[in-house]
Amino acid sequence: MKTQIYFRVDVLDNKGTGHLIRSIALAKTLEQHFECIFLTKIKNHELSKLITDAGFTFIPMSFSFPKEIKWIKNNLNQKTILVLDGYHFDSEYQLQIKKYVAKLVCIDDIHNYHFYADIIINHSGGITPQNYSTSPHTKFYLGLDYVLLRPPFLDENQISRTNKSINNIMICLGGEDPDNKTLEVLKQCEKISTIKTCNVVIGAKNKNIKSIQLFSKTSSLPIQILNRLSAVQMAKLMRECDTAICSPSTVALEFLTIGGNLFLYPIADNQKDIQAFLLKNKLAFHFNNIKNISEKELEESITLQKEAIDKKSPERLLNIFKKLEIQINVKIREASFNDIYQYFLWTNEKETRLQSFNNERIIFSDHYNWFKRKIISKSCFLFIMELNQKPVGQIRFDVENEMATISYSLDKKFRKKGLAKILIQKGIKKLLEKNKNIKLIQGYVKNTNKPSIYTFKKLGFKEMNETPKILVFKYHFLTAS
């Protein structure tokens, strides 16, 4: 049975179409491995069809805040992941909801309140963890390496633009454009003599179509109005246009994957981060300067665009959620004498012997005597980590007074999956449940054991040189608890 991921995203009061589209993009990335379900407040039938047409279950959310919390408490559980995409899912909402799910993920681009999420994804660019106020455990996935784009914009390579002039343009200022900035852009475009075709893309919730249609009848521009475009149709249009005039939003990032002259026209405060990043890195220009940009500057920008998005974000995003799934399904338990043979197999595994201080193969009689001593010792704690009820690794603590020396290993089938960090974290937590007097944990590592060195450093252990070939990592607790 697939792990369930619930997407909580709304489209209300002419706002939220972009959030819905990028959440669907993420769900498409994850759908082969997870079951994706949308929890959405949405009044527009055509927008709700975006969810169902993409192949996902849509559950309407029409509750007040207290009733919504109760619904999530009754329907989600400690095996599910919840993704939030919307500015109204603020600190209080996160705090109330987090206890009813296994993991909480926030897609964000404004960073203007405290986050309790386990994961924050922000593809704006130019943002660092220092821009956020979060819980200590929150992990960040920031920038274009984690861009949330629909499949048609990731499937093909950028096209080679031979004409750097502004001839065939696309205008798209988001799904709603409540202040009809599209009309303002069209009026400015009338002053650009090189334009040969002008494609205006509007969303299903745009209420300004009549005024745009009226303008097109008398305008000198050859205007074609397009709406309700699918992702495939949008990608095709972008490839046909040498220039895009977009809001600094996901649509601008989509155009980056195609490549071309990109001009930005912001229509909302939440677009400032993407705009600042794209302008600073010369990937785009502000629309107000469209008549002042040279062909050389346009050519340089297109060259830079080719390096901006490597189109590997789906793989990275999938790995993020796979790691969350592992964290949900791993358990740690005390070892028993019944585990003696599993330990014997692990201890004689080739890489384990290589990184051990004694490289010789262990014979079973010696292992039997060692394991028997350790399992009954009151100063030794042995734990096994299981994933989906299968043993994947072991961790041991030898305790002397208030100090514990750590030793761990992972089954070779489960290495390079981020499990070492989880094993140590859960092992330490289990140890402290058994012995609350521990104030120092240390581990000895060969200087050639790069994976263990990396793991200890990531966990905040302090590195010290024991000998030229052996490092010791120490972690001090401020209190005994």
Asked if pLDDT for residue 480 goes beyond 60, the answer is no
Asked whether residue 163 falls in the same domain as residue 298, the answer is yes
Give the span between the Cα atoms of 337 and 372, in whole angstroms. 7
395 DSSP β-pair partners:
383, 408
CB 122 within 8 A of CB 111: yes
Structural domain that includes position 86: 4-149+314-320
Specify the DSSP element, H or E, that contains 28.
Answer: helix 17-30
Tokens of 316: 């990275």
The residue among 257, 289, 320 that closes a domain is: 320
Asked whether residue 177 falls in the same domain as residue 101, the answer is no
Asked whether residue 156 falls in the same domain as residue 122, the answer is no
Contacts (Cβ under 8 Å, ≥6 apart) of 40:
7, 8, 9, 10, 11, 20, 48, 51, 58, 59, 60, 61
Q: Please give the tally of structural domains in the chain.
A: 3
Asked whether residue 352 falls in the same domain as residue 299, the answer is no
Could you report the per-residue pLDDT of 158-178, keeping only the tens digit for each?
777 766 789 999 999 987 788
Burial class (CB in 10 A: 0-12, 13-18, 19+), 226: middle
Asked whether residue 36 falls in the same domain as residue 134, the answer is yes
pLDDT reported for residue 14:
67
| The CA-based dihedral angle spanning residues 198, 203, 208, 210, taken in that order and rounded to the nearest 10 degrees | 70
Could you report the per-residue pLDDT of 176-223, keeping only the tens digit for each?
788 999 999 999 999 999 999 999 999 766 788 899 999 999 999 999
| Residue 325 resides in a domain | no
Asked whether residue 164 falls in the same domain as residue 140, the answer is no
Asked whether residue 289 falls in the same domain as residue 366, the answer is no
Q: What is the mean pLDDT of residues 445-468?
A: 90
| Residue 339 resides in a domain | yes
| Residue 448 resides in a domain | yes
Asked whether residue 123 falls in the same domain as residue 182, the answer is no
The residue among 308, 343, 368 that closes a domain is: 308
Asked whether residue 142 falls in the same domain as residue 160, the answer is no
Helix spans in 348-418 (H): 350-355, 364-376
Tokens of 142: 């920031």
| Residue 481 resides in a domain | no
Could you report the per-residue pLDDT of 287-346, keeping only the tens digit for each?
999 999 999 999 999 999 999 999 999 999 999 999 999 999 999 999 999 999 999 999
Contacts (Cβ under 8 Å, ≥6 apart) of 389:
331
| Residue 80 resides in a domain | yes
| Residue 440 resides in a domain | yes
Asked whether residue 126 falls in the same domain as residue 9, the answer is yes
The residue among 320, 343, 372 that closes a domain is: 320
Asked whether residue 354 falls in the same domain as residue 456, the answer is yes
The model's pTM: 0.86
Contacts (Cβ under 8 Å, ≥6 apart) of 342:
384, 391, 394
Give the span between the Cα atoms of 112 and 164, in whole angstroms. 39
pLDDT reported for residue 176:
79
Asked whether residue 182 falls in the same domain as residue 125, the answer is no
Asked if pLDDT for residue 479 goes beyond 80, the answer is no
